[in-house]
Amino acid sequence: MNSSSSSLVRNELDPDRLPKHVAIIMDGNGRWARKRLMNRINGHEKGVETVRTIVRTARQLNIAALTLYAFSTENWQRPKAEVAGLMLLLTRFLDTERPTLFDNQIRLNTIGQTERLPNGVRQKLESTIAETAGHTGMVLTLALSYGARAEIVDMVRKIATSARQGSLDPEAISAETIADHLYTRGLPDPDLLIRTSGEQRISNFLLWQIAYAELYFTPTLWPDFSKDEFIRILQDYQRRERRFGAVPSASTGP
């Protein structure tokens, strides 16, 4: 951590109470563009700049995992030109952010039905994942062609297949078994879920994993989301008491 980020944590955040895993539903690119009479792709381009800022800030703060909802299974229904533009932006992001991934020891990861991505995009994604596999600074997960219901269906099929083949006793299936068959295997569950743009819904994102996550909804459109607002949300997170269904301690009152 550099001196500026150390000062940031010292003055505004408790480094011992930061979330280990932050997940973000990045929403509002289209509305940002529409308000400015611009093409939706212009909004997505501006949104990529925000991604760059938040990734670097999370790394500076030593947050262990950051997961970004970049493209949902439902997004395939958008106009072909917009989908093609999004795929081009993803390819550019992987190219331009490669130095950041290496300089900051960020390991790239992905979740979702990535086999549906265009071949060129998928190959670029897979090569970047392989090249950063040994990085230990932070895990950056891009949810691409992702939907939580599809993930749960895939999980059930895998477990059912193992049970049918006799390699898994149905009576032994536990919450850990389920987690081990999800796309997010190996990642901690999110401690904090942020959604931008004022919408207050989860939109088929990490439905199993966010069971005990703290939720934060901001009216800010994703292209306008800033490092300062991210810090303020983390401050709010640190003021919350996470009990995971337990009774409050005597010191905290009712």
Residue ranges covered by each domain of the chain: 17-147+189-237
Please tell me which residue, 154 or 242, carries the higher pLDDT value. Answer: 154
Amino acid found at 80: K
Evaluate if residue 186 carries a pLDDT over 70: yes
Contacts of 101 by beta carbon, 8 Å cutoff, 6+ apart: 107, 108, 128, 132, 135, 140
State the number of CA atoms in the 13 A half-sphere of 33 facing the CB.
Answer: 13
Chain position carrying tokens 């997940």: 23
Crossing angle for the helix pair 3-12 and 40-60, nearest 10 degrees?
A: 90
Chain position carrying tokens 């292209």: 223
User: The pTM is what?
Assistant: 0.91
Contacts of 91 by beta carbon, 8 Å cutoff, 6+ apart: 120, 121, 124
What pLDDT is attached to residue 166?
96
Evaluate if residue 253 carries a pLDDT over 70: no
Cα angle value 190/28/25 (rounded, 5°): 10
Q: Which CATH class is domain 17-147+189-237?
A: alpha beta
What pLDDT is attached to residue 248?
61
The CA–CA distances, whole Å, from 144 to 11, 17, 90, 113, 247 equal: 36, 29, 10, 7, 38
Contacts of 123 by beta carbon, 8 Å cutoff, 6+ apart: none
Looking at residues 77-88, what average pLDDT do you find? Answer: 95
Looking at residues 49-62, what average pLDDT do you find? Answer: 97
C-alpha dihedral (77, 78, 81, 84), degrees to nearest 10? -70
Interval 123-177: pLDDT, tens: 999 999 999 999 999 999 999 999 999 999 999 999 999 999 999 999 999 999 9
* Closest to 83 (Cα-Cα) out of 106, 50, 110, 116: 116
* Closest to 45 (Cα-Cα) out of 195, 36, 169, 229: 36
* Residue 244: pLDDT band with limits 50, 70, 90: confident
* Closest to 170 (Cα-Cα) out of 156, 157, 155, 160: 160
As annotated, the active-site residues are 27, 75
